[in-house]
Amino acid sequence: MAGRSFDLVLFGGTGDLAGRKLLPGMYFRYRDGDIADDSRIIATARQQLTTEQFHGLVRERLQQNLEAGDFDAGTCDGFLRHIQYVTTDAGDGASFQGLRPLLTDAPERARVFFLATSPTFFTAIASHLAEAGLVTPTARVVLEKPLGRDLASSREINEAVGRIFSEDRIYRIDHYLGKESVQNLLALRFGNSMFEPLWSRSWVRDVQITIGEQVGVEGRGEFYNQTGALRDMVQNHLLQLLCIVAMEPPTSIDPDSVRDAKLQVLRSLKRFSEADIQDRIVRGQYRAGASEGRPVPGFLDEPGIPHDSRTETFVALKAELCNWRWAGVPFYLRTGKRMQDRLAEIVVNFRNVPHAILQGPSGIAAHNRLVIRLQPHDGLTLQLQAKTPGDGMRLQPIQLDLAFQNAHKARMLDAYERLLMDVIRGRLTLFMRRDEQEAAWAWVEPILDAWAASDEAPKPYTAGTWGPAASSALIGRDNRAWHEEV
């Protein structure tokens, strides 16, 4: 049965995010009967296109980005009937008048403005929407990351957008929170009795969170050179995953209860001193190497990158939480481009048994471990110790695997697909609140400032590896190893 009627206005409608994630996500929602017959998707960008020309572009993007079995010409035709295109320019407020004829006939229904543009345009777009009389009591705005370059610019954007949209109508999106495995982590912790008693410093030895990408800057050199891995990945994705792992049980699943719990984690993060930034953080930059069996250039040879750039493409750090549950437990965070594999996972390493009466394997892998995989395939792996076959009582590690796509017959929604429908339905739980986001910026800003003042260049690493050797040394000093190195 189709859901409630809505108008989705997609700024940056001709861009990469729209073509790769947003429009394919809405195609699936249409195919599965989740879009009411009178709902509209209004794509807008600076390009001078007719709706018919944009339909051709959407069809091409769907064919490129969907699996062959998912694209159906008839379904695509029906989906395109919901889509219209209007040319607007964030620098020209008058151009927003072109949206009025498409929106003024149904002001009472859900209206979503998705800003899939550079954050530098957020303030102007919000202002122009208000000036054109398009911000109704049911209107919501979705803001993509990174929201600003630092705490001051983030506050400036939040204040400007907040003058037009109330906080309960601002959806700061982090698509990692829409992943099935992240929500299953909530279910694992708060829907089962067996893990929560173990979820503390008494039983957890360390936590590792890794987001590795095989791709480079992919034609976004100018943008990435101004952003870097700390702003692009650590300030949002990695810290949000840390919050989900470490937060106290919320009183309910309602938005403010969950976001209050995450905010407490961010406020508990120990700030880095100058010495800590040297000892506990590694920044790297990839050099020429190989990825998926083909040669790839180094970061400094990518289009749009100055040859003297010190922008980091890799960050590894050791974080600590100053609270009773997690005091003394290291949280190792790592992210990078041109890594050996495309990987996103959370690894919870439990402490060894207090007194070993059985002979186990030597080395670092003898403890219990929970691995939550986010990509490329969602799932859970629990490593236990079991007896080896044969005579004697010698232990070996075994794994209990749960692949979500095998456990559930229903198709798993893409993260953006789920989050888009949450916005339409007015569900804020999986979106960041302003104070939460600003707490994250406040934590990373001293690192940014220290790097800006330093003459030290990022440590080089070869494309197609797991990053600089200093990353292994960082965790090795604590007699630990990254999960893939075990």
Query: Distance (Å, rounded) from C-alpha 73 to C-alpha 324?
Result: 57
Query: Distance (Å, rounded) from C-alpha 114 to C-alpha 423?
Result: 10
- Identify residue 75 by its one-letter amino acid code: T
What strands lie across the sheet with 343-350, from one edge to the other? 395-403, 379-387, 369-375, 343-350, 204-212, 331-336, 314-319, 281-287, 459-462
Cβ–Cβ under 8 Å, residues 55 and 26: no
Please give the pLDDT value at position 382: 87
Active-site residue, 237 included: yes
DSSP string, 254-309: SHHHHHHHHHHHHHHBPPPPHHHHHHHEEEEEEESEEETTEEE--GGGSTT--TT-
Q: What is the mean pLDDT of each run of 10 residues along the chain (486 residues)?
A: 83 95 96 93 96 97 92 96 96 95 84 94 96 94 91 96 96 92 86 89 96 92 93 95 96 93 97 95 97 92 94 98 97 97 94 76 67 85 82 76 64 88 94 96 96 95 97 96 78
Structure-token match 């777009």, residue found: 125
Catalytic residue among 82, 128, 175, 237: 237
Instruction: List, as own/partner pairs, every contact residues 189-193 make where C-beta atoms lie below 8 angstroms and the sequence separation is at least 24, other chains included.
Output: 189/249, 190/249, 190/250
Query: Distance (Å, rounded) from C-alpha 376 to C-alpha 33?
Result: 27
Please give the pLDDT value at position 362: 57
